[in-house]
Amino acid sequence: MGDWVRDQWARRHWGLNVLLLFSAFMTFVYVPWDFFVKPVGLDEEVWFGVIFRGGWAKLLEIPHFAVYAALMVGLWGQRAWTRPLLAAYGVQVTIANVVWPLLYIEGWTRFPFAAAAGGAFAALTVWVWRNEALFTPKRIPMRERYGEWALVTGASAGIGAEFARALAQQGQSVVLVARREEQLHAVAKEIEERHGVDTRVISCDLADEDARRDLVASVADLEIATLVNNAGFGYAGRFDKQDPERLVQMVRLHCEAPVALTAAWLPGMKERGRGAVVILGSVAGSQPLPLHGVYSATKGFDNLLGEALWAELHGTGVDVLSVLPGSTESEFHDVAGEIPHAGAQASDVVAQSLEALGRKPSVITGTFNWVRANAAARLLPRSTQSLVAKAVIERQTPEEMR
Ligand SMILES: NC(=O)c1ccc[n+]([C@@H]2O[C@H](COP(=O)([O-])OP(=O)(O)OC[C@H]3O[C@@H](n4cnc5c(N)ncnc54)[C@H](OP(=O)(O)O)[C@@H]3O)[C@@H](O)[C@H]2O)c1
């Protein structure tokens, strides 16, 4: 609990922590008390320095509640919109502190009072507006946050190689795992030279149970602090035209491997009270995807596994994140046998993932993907979703596999 509070406090400037606590107090204690407990006849509410009484006061408590609740949520989540909201509310409070004494205090003292109170709130508002950097989340580097060693599966290409680069940039030494040793060594050499971290290269077919066991044994001397379950592949085509053995390999790689590897290193993370597990799912796993039926089913498994583990481990110091990318530029489309099509940059997917780690159970990278996974998948009937998805995927699938 103490560590959690310290970690939370360290995330923001102390001034924003104070504002967060104040907003929480106003949201949960003061405004509800004002609204529900204080008799209507005694209630007063000040907006822009004008005092409203009785029924008007009750009514105008509602926007006050909305502002404090929004500030609490925004400051907690370090959302970018918090700064303009806080600055706008600061302008209102500044005006109130000038107008109120001029209207309601008798004698000359109202002038210095208005100047002092208005000046103090104006200074606070300007400070908020000018310090944009304070509202972007303060990140503790991965090595400091979770420990020295990361293990990334599928680190020989695409998103996995980008994860290895990003984690090394944040000081973590990296175990790079995939089947192609030469590619793994190339990424390892690059990150060693650029970031001065240690690396270990392990060639392993993660769809193979014995090979996975050997992998776990070969890093028994390391404390794995961050596990990125990334290795995966697509396979475009109609189910009855696909090679069943390759589909079974996919199930082993996407479902068995993350379960087995997470089970191998999670107990150590829990014991140390810190660690991170990232599981690469996909937006393809948030809806049925014809011509990628087994792929979308296995990615649904990954999405849900990560989100469930996030809740199980909440508060233990171990962060879990499911990553749901949409189409991303990598070797994926080639390996899947798809007709090439546009995608996001793998480095952007990784940046958004590391940004979300420790903040939420899953992240959908990219706005279009968010709409697809949320609006479309929640609002449209399953039949419409499947048929629309089929029409889209058919355009990316070679004729002979449709
Ligand atoms: N690219 C996309 O559009 C996209 C979209 C959503 C989700 N994703 C997910 O993101 C993850 C990474 O994909 P990517 O786009 O980076 O694809 P990629 O460029 O093809 O990389 C896939 C990685 O997985 C490794 N791998 C494949 N089979 C393996 C096996 N049996 N054992 C060990 N390693 C294996 C590959 O290395 P070797 O060949 O050397 O073994 C490679 O390093 C996958 O889980 C994928 O499902 C990708």
pLDDT at 133: 84
pLDDT band at 372 (very low <50, low <70, confident <90, very high): confident
Measure 233 CA to ligand 1 centroid, in angstroms: 5
pLDDT, tens digit (0-9, with 9 covering 90-100), for 63-117:
999 999 999 999 998 888 999 999 999 999 999 999 999 999 999 999 999 999 9
Q: What is the SS3 string spanning 106-121? A: CCCCHHHHHHHHHHHH
pLDDT band at 291 (very low <50, low <70, confident <90, very high): very high
Task: Show me where the domains of the chain are located.
Answer: 2-135, 142-401
Measure 7 CA to ligand 1 centroid, in angstroms: 33
Per-residue pLDDT for 3 more than 80? Answer: no
pLDDT at 135: 86
Mean pLDDT of 143-159: 97
Mutate-to-test residue for ligand 1 from 213, 233, 301, highest number of ligand atoms within 8 A of CB: 233
Q: Which residues does ligand 1 sit against, CB inside 6 Å?
A: 153-154, 156-160, 178-180, 183, 204-207, 230-233, 253, 280, 282, 325, 327-328, 330-332, 335, 343
Measure 156 CA to ligand 1 centroid, in angstroms: 9
306-312: long-range pairs with CB below 8 Å, 24+: 306/277, 306/278, 306/279, 306/281, 306/361, 306/362, 307/361, 307/362, 309/262, 309/277, 310/360, 310/361, 310/362, 311/361
Q: What is the CATH number of domain 142-401?
A: 3.40.50.720
pLDDT, tens digit (0-9, with 9 covering 90-100), for 318-342:
999 999 999 999 999 999 999 989 8
Per-residue pLDDT for 268 more than 80? Answer: yes
User: What's the chain's length in residues?
Assistant: 402
